[in-house]
């Protein structure tokens, strides 16, 4: 069971993060968070960016955790999953930095 958890942790985190960002985007647009100003942006923008950065930090910790597993297949699978999850989170969440929030 430990092998399965390590081998899929990065991809599970990516899937969770993608769903969380998507849900926060819909909720923020529906509730009008984009119109609430904060220094340097809006409430909506800050929530999205902070969530994305926390997810990326979690993916980095997952990579560190996977790299500490026993050498062999378990480590290779865990590291591959963690790298894929980290890259997926960085790519899937990067639009929060550059695009307009709600159309």
Give the tens place of pLDDT for each residue, 45-79. Answer: 999 999 999 999 999 999 999 999 888 998 999 99
> Does 13 fall in a domain?
no
Number of domains in the chain: 1
Tell me which residue range forms the domain holding 84: 42-95
Inside any domain, residue 9:
no
Exposure class string for 3-41: b at 16+ Cβ within 10 A, else e: eeebbbbbbebbeebeeebeebbeebeeeebbeeeeeee
Indicate whether 76 belongs to any domain: yes
93 has pLDDT over 80 = yes
Q: What is the pLDDT of residue 98?
A: 81
- pTM, entire model: 0.90
Q: Which residue, among 6, 3, 5, has the nearest Cα to 66 in the 3D structure?
A: 6
Q: Is residue 32 part of a domain?
A: no
């Amino acid at each position: 069971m430990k092998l399965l958890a390590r081998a899929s942790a990065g991809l599970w985190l990516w899937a969770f993060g993608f769903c969380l960002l998507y849900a926060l985007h819909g909720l923020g647009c529906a509730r009008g968070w984009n119109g609430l100003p904060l220094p340097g942006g809006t409430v909506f923008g800050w929530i999205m960016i902070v969530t994305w950065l926390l997810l990326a930090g979690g993916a980095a910790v997952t990579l560190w955790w996977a790299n500490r597993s026993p050498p062999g297949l378990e480590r290779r699978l865990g590291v591959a999953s963690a790298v894929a999850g980290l890259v997926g989170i960085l790519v899937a969440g990067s639009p929060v930095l550059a695009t307009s929030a709600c159309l």
